[in-house]
């Protein structure tokens, strides 16, 4: 029988990824309204990438004989400026890194190698997102940037 705590981490991961999809889709549409087409396209691409992460976690849940529990999604965070959006996204990506690191450690301790590898692999993607956001914040000078 699968470890219920691993199923719990996978469910939490699916909810996190779908929350990220919702946030990036919303921000993509918002920045399009601000006339910032290239940022809008980049945010839309992020949404697609997070959807692919959700897909991988759902695949793993099915392997364990489970389906997503359908927990609540996090509220969407937007902002009045690009910097505000970036700061919200940085927090969200940092949360993902924290959750997946904890999950990978737990799975490794339990000898659940494939689960550990999945969490570690997606954590690497989230670390890349985090670095990218930090670079964008640095480039923006953290100043006020309206659309
Ligand atoms: Fe993700
Ligand atoms: Fe991400």
Q: Mind listing the pLDDT tens digit for each residue in 55-78? A: 999 999 999 999 999 889 999 999
**What pTM does this model have?**
0.93
Is the distance from CB of 72 to CB of 32 less than 8 angstroms?
Answer: no
Taking the CA atoms of 136, 120, 47 and 70 in sequence, report the sign of the dihedral they define. Answer: negative
The helix or strand, by DSSP H or E, that contains position 28, with its residue range, turns out to be helix 4-33
- Compute, in angstroms, the gap from residue 133 CA to the centroid of ligand 1: 14
- Compute, in angstroms, the gap from residue 4 CA to the centroid of ligand 1: 22
**Chain-centre distance for alpha carbon 45:** 12
Domain of 56 in residue numbering reads as: 4-139
Is the distance from CB of 29 to CB of 83 less than 8 angstroms?
Answer: no
Among all bound ligands, the one having the nearest atom to the CA of 54 is: 1
What's the rounded Cα separation, in Å, for the pair 101 and 95? 10
- Compute, in angstroms, the gap from residue 38 CA to the centroid of ligand 2: 19
Residue 89, pLDDT above cutoff 90: yes
Q: Residue 58 falls within a domain, yes or no? A: yes
In this prediction, residues 31-41 reach a mean pLDDT of 97
- Compute, in angstroms, the gap from residue 65 CA to the centroid of ligand 1: 22
Is the distance from CB of 106 to CB of 9 less than 8 angstroms?
Answer: yes
- Compute, in angstroms, the gap from residue 143 CA to the centroid of ligand 1: 27
Residue 46, pLDDT above cutoff 50: yes
Q: Residue 146 falls within a domain, yes or no? A: no
Domain tally, the chain: 1
User: Which CATH number belongs to the domain containing residue 43 in this structure?
Assistant: 1.20.1260.10
Q: Residue 147 falls within a domain, yes or no? A: no
């Amino acid at each position: 029988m699968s470890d219920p705590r691993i199923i719990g981490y996978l469910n939490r991961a699916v909810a996190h990824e779908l929350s990220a999809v919702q946030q990036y889709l919303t921000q993509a549409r918002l920045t399009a309204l601000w006339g910032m087409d290239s940022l809008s396209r980049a945010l839309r691409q992020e949404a697609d990438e997070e959807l692919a992460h959700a897909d991988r976690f759902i695949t793993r849940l099915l392997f364990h004989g489970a389906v997503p529990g359908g927990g609540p999604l996090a509220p969407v965070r937007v902002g009045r400026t690009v910097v505000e959006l970036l700061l919200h996204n940085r927090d969200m990506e940092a949360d993902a890194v924290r959750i997946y690191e904890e999950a990978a450690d737990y799975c490794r301790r339990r000898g659940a190698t494939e689960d550990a590898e999945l969490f570690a692999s997606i954590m690497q993607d989230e670390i890349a997102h985090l670095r990218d956001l930090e670079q964008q914040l640095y480039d923006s000078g953290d100043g006020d940037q309206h659309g």
